[in-house]
C-alpha cells in the first residue's frame, strides 16, 4: 500500500477536527434542551433560545457540512487502495452517519418547537434523546477502527 499523500493527510486531519466539533455540538445541544425544559422564567427561556440557535447554526451546521465534505474526499481518494466499497462495515458506517444527519435535523426541528413552548417535552425525554449520538459514536468508531468482517 502506498503512503498517503500530504493532501490526503491534511483532509483526514480536517475531517477529524470537523467530526469532533460536530459531536461536541450533538452532545451539548440536547443537554441545553434538558435545561431549557427545566427553565421556569422568561429570561432563562430567552437565554436558552439564543444559546441553542448559536450552537445549532454557528457550530453544528458548519461542522456537519465539513465532516461530510471531507469524508467524501477521503473515500474518493482512499478507496483506490483500501476497497471501502467492498466492505460491509463501510456501508454500516455510512448508514449510521445518515442516522446522525437525521438526528441533527431532528435537533433543529426540536429547537424550533422549544422556542414556542419550553415544556414541549419533559427534561427526561431530552436526557434519553441526548444518548443517541453516544451510541452511534461507539458503533462508528468500532466499525472504522476494527473493520469487522461479516
Binding residues: 15, 93
Task: Encode 34-72: b = buried (16+ Cβ within 10 Å), e = exposed.
Answer: bebbebeeeeebeebbeebeebbeebbeebbebbeebbe
Residue 24 CA to residue 37 CA, distance in Å, equals 20
Three-state DSSP state, 2: coil
Known binding site for heme: residues?
A: 15, 93
Amino acid at each position: 500500500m502506498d503512503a498517503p499523500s500530504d493532501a490526503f493527510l491534511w483532509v483526514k486531519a480536517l475531517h477529524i477536527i470537523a467530526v469532533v466539533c460536530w459531536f461536541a455540538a450533538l452532545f451539548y445541544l440536547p443537554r441545553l434542551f434538558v435545561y431549557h425544559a427545566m427553565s421556569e422564567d422568561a429570561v432563562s427561556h430567552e437565554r436558552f433560545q439564543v444559546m441553542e440557535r448559536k450552537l445549532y447554526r454557528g457550530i453544528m451546521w458548519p461542522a456537519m457540512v465539513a465532516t461530510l465534505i471531507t469524508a467524501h474526499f477521503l473515500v474518493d481518494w482512499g478507496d483506490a487502495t483500501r476497497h471501502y466499497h467492498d466492505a460491509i462495515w463501510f456501508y454500516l458506517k455510512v448508514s449510521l452517519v445518515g442516522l446522525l444527519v437525521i438526528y441533527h435535523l431532528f435537533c433543529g426541528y426540536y429547537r424550533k418547537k422549544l422556542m414556542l413552548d419550553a415544556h414541549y417535552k419533559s427534561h427526561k425525554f431530552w436526557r434519553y434523546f441526548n444518548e443517541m449520538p453516544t451510541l452511534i459514536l461507539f458503533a462508528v468508531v468500532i466499525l472504522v477502527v476494527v473493520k469487522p468482517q461479516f
